[in-house]
């Protein structure tokens, strides 16, 4: 493992698992971790997408003589597949040092009274239950590595929608609020095992998922009007925060829910009713 000029140990040689790592913020975070020397395993449900992502990561790693990348196909809502993903991520070094539980999404948007039960359940499942399963199975592997003198870092993917209301995005927001509380509870419980747990709360980020909004229109205008730093986020903004929370630079930070949103959390949430002509 490399040591910088301040005597701090970096993440070179550490093993990381990034769920939902085939695109967007997950892929951006994986790129940052590989660039800093970590051995990164990305997982997701689409093998074709994962293969393309690993090709990008491998080219980057070779160019920078940095870390390495691999993939494993896994659905984070299926427990045995999460067990398999954690095993694959730890196989290279016999350890798991970093988990970015990034997989998630919104399968429901709209008023409470019109909500489809299965869409709401699926939203909670992929965000909250998926993150729970990843922490459940990553934590024992991380704890086993502490005897070697290292701790582990878990970062959950939350959202500004989980911190303050965004009109009609309530199912996603409730699931992400659950992720924040899950990470805080896990931080309290796992600290004695040398494991730190935090979450990140991105605002609107200009990636594939949010492209229909960041391309422009009333909803983007609504976002920007409520942001002191009035621009969409970049994938790199979130990746930099994940890298910070993954490494020794944040060694005394745990149980935090970090807003990365240009200050959006200081004001009101976005009005997704604008997508319905309201």
Beta bridge partners of 144: none
d(CA 216, CA 218): 7
d(CA 191, CA 194): 5
Query: Per the residue annotation, which of 71, 172, 223, 272 is the catalytic one?
Result: 172
* 172 a catalytic residue: yes
Catalytic residue numbers? 172
């Amino acid at each position: 493992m490399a040591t910088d000029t301040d005597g701090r140990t970096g993440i070179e040689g550490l093993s990381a698992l990034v769920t939902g790592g085939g695109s967007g913020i997950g892929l951006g975070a994986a790129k940052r971790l590989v660039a800093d020397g970590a051995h990164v395993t990305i997982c997701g449900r689409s093998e074709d997408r994962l293969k393309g992502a690993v090709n990008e990561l491998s080219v980057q790693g070779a160019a920078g003589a940095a870390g390495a990348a691999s993939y494993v196909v896994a659905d984070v809502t299926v427990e045995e597949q999460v067990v398999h993903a954690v095993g694959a991520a730890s196989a290279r070094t016999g350890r798991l040092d970093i988990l970015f539980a990034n997989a998630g999404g919104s399968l429901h948007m709209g008023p409470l009274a019109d909500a489809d039960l299965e869409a709401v359940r699926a939203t909670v499942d992929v965000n909250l239950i998926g993150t729970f399963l990843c922490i459940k199975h990553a934590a024992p592997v991380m704890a086993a590595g502490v005897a070697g003198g290292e701790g582990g870092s878990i970062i959950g993917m939350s959202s500004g929608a989980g911190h303050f209301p965004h009109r009609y995005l309530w199912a996603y927001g409730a699931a992400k609020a659950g992720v924040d509380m899950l990470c805080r509870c896990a931080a309290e419980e796992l600290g004695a095992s040398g494991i730190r747990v935090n979450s990140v709360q991105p605002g609107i980020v200009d990636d594939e998922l949010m492209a229909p909004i960041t391309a422009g229109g009333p909803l983007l205008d609504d976002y920007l009007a409520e942001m002191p730093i009035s621009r969409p986020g970049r994938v790199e903004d979130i990746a930099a925060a994940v890298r910070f929370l993954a490494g020794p630079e944040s060694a005394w930070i745990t149980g935090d829910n970090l807003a990365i949103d240009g200050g959006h959390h200081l004001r009101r949430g976005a009005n997704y009713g604008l997508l319905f002509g309201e």
